[in-house]
Structure 1
Amino acid sequence: MSSDAPVILDHRHGPHGEVVLRRRGEHHEIIANGCFLMDTSDGRSERHLVDAAYAALAANGGRPPSLLLGGLGVGFSLAHAAANPHWRHIAVVEREQAIIDWHFSGPLAPISTAALADPRSVILSTDLLTHLRDTDDRYDALCLDIDNGPDWTVTEDNGDLYSPTGLALCRRVLEPGGVLAVWSAKPSPAFEETLRNAGFKGVRTEEIQVARGVPDVVHLAVEPA
């Protein structure tokens, strides 16, 4: 077998479909419903997602901010956020129990162990839309990395998150002046327009150069103060 051939480490079926953890060489990959989500080969996109949200907040000053991460993934976003002492609170919503397990007692633990032990961090095992609808908590930043972008979702119902109704829920949990940051594998002018129509201000898109292919992007939008 070639060293580049993927090896399946775990394969589960849950309420949202199939989720698979594979090892390819020295890296790990997460596949959801047959769709490649992310791997551990780089991580600059996940780090930029968190940094872009923080930079937008830092420009406004104020108290140390709180962060809600939509999607645990391979753990790069959480680990990077926890490495920043200025975040006051870091909550991560993850609906796939398998992914949570891979971080607490599986192959992804080396990435996230320190962050999970950080008293500022909490993992919420629930669907993101459910949390946005039901929580009484408010956040200064909301970073979404649960799909390959607004135009390429893992499951059909995830599309609701990027709809006017879903964006209204995002606004609901953001403090005035709070920042929404959405990772995407490609730019989406249509999503930018949807953000503006949903009432967000300061909508813009930042590119992230990657090792191969077209740049990833982060869509940024601000909840009016």
Structure 2
Amino acid sequence: MLPWELLATTRAPDGDTLRLFRRGGEFSIRLGDGNELMNSRLSGSEEALATLTLERLGPRPAPRMLIGGLGLGFTLRAALAMAPPEGDLVVSEVVPELADWADAHMSTVFEGCLSDPRVDLRVGDVGVEIRQNGARFDAILLDVDNGPDGLTRPGNDVLYSRAGLRAARTALTPGGVLGVWSAAPDRAFTERLSQAGFDVEAQTVRAGRTKRGVRHTVWIAVRPG
């Protein structure tokens, strides 16, 4: 078996070390303690976050979407595949080096999605984008940290709190959809979504593209109206 090769290292804003590894055509982003955050072989649940959210949203002539977390680009690519030419996708990523790694090391994974004219990549906290004035987005897709049970940034907990969910609801147009990815189910989070005024459904999806392997959770939460 080929050994893992360290390609790049950076620090997240909270001080955590992130490392990019490659083994043949496989890529892995890990915390400094070795805990794997992302792997290019496991794209199924990130793609499902986009497809389930946009299927629930339904056709809109020029949907405006916010994606929290660039990751390995799987959610973005799936959203682009479903969005019309007039769509507008804002991607908020707190670690600027991830976009650099996409260009420098992982072009085969990202397949040029960051160059799509519909994409606006913004370096910063997705919570700031959500808290801007008014109902600006038809869909918000959050693939941030490990889900509601934060792993890398304690500040991410704010996104999944009652106040954070109410802010997300306010940022959505009537009938807009909030999609949330998580590594594990969380009944308390389902309840918080409901208390924040969403019509919510939790779905279990595979981490990979096969019918076997690890399962993740995607919440589809709709702002009524």
Q: CA deviation at 1:209?
A: 2.4
Query: Are the aligned partners of 1:68 and 1:90 in contact in 2 as well (CA < 8 Å)?
Result: yes
Instruction: Name the amino acid aligned to 2:153.
Output: T
* Residue matched to 1:63: 61
Judged with a 3 Å threshold, the aligned counterparts in structure 2 of structure 1 residues 30 and 136 are, in CA distance, closer, same or farther, namely: farther
Which residue of structure 2 lines up, in the alignment, with residue 186 of structure 1? 184
**TM-aligned CA deviation for residue 164 of structure 1:** 0.8
Percent identity of paired positions between Structure 1 and Structure 2: 36
Asked if 1:167 corresponds to 2:176, the answer is no
User: In the superposition, relative to structure 1, how do residues 32 and 132 fare at CA in structure 2: closer, same or farther (>3 Å)?
Assistant: farther
After superposition, residues 130-209 of structure 1 pair within 5 angstroms as 130-134=128-132, 138-201=136-199, 203-209=200-206
**TM-score, normalised relative to structure 2:** 0.89
Q: Aligned partners of 2:36, 2:167: CA distance in 1, in Å?
A: 27
1:29-178 to 2 correspondences below 5 Å: 29-32=28-31, 34=33, 35-58=35-58, 61-86=59-84, 88-103=87-102, 105-134=103-132, 138-178=136-176
Q: Deviations over 1:119-154 (max 9, x none)?
A: 111101111112222366711111111122212432
Indicate how the Cα distance of structure 1 residues 96 and 171 shifts in structure 2: closer, same or farther if over 3 A, else same.
same
**Is 1:224–2:221 an aligned residue pair?**
no
Provide the aligned length of Structure 1 versus Structure 2. Answer: 219
Query: In structure 1, what residue type is equivalent to 2:7?
Result: L
Given that 1:33 and 1:154 are in contact with CA atoms closer than 8 Å, whether structure 2 keeps it comes out as no
Task: Tell whether the 8 Å contact from 1:91 to 1:123 is kept in structure 2 after alignment.
Answer: yes
2:11 corresponds to which of 10, 13, 20: 13
- SS of the aligned residue for 1:187 comes to coil
Shift of 1:204: 0.8
Q: 1:200 to 1:33 in 2, by over 3 A?
A: farther
Contact 2:177 2:220 in 1 (8 A): yes
Tell me how far 1:77 sits from its aligned partner: 1.2
| Structure 1 vs Structure 2 CA RMSD | 2.0
Where structure 1 has 5 or more consecutive residues not aligned to the other structure, the ranges are none
Which amino acid in the other structure matches residue 30 of structure 1? I
Separation (CA, whole Å) in 2 of partners of 1:135 and 1:80: 27
Aligned-partner Cα distance in 2 for 1:210–1:74: 14
Farther-moved stretch of structure 1 (176-185 vs 114-123): 114-123
TM-score, normalization: structure 1?
A: 0.89
In structure 2, distance between residues paired with 1:214 and 1:31: 18
Per-residue deviation at 1:91?
A: 1.0
- Cα deviation 1:34-71 (Å, max 9, x = unaligned): 4421110131111111000011011xx54342211100
Please tell me whether residue 22 in structure 1 is matched to residue 21 in structure 2.
Answer: yes
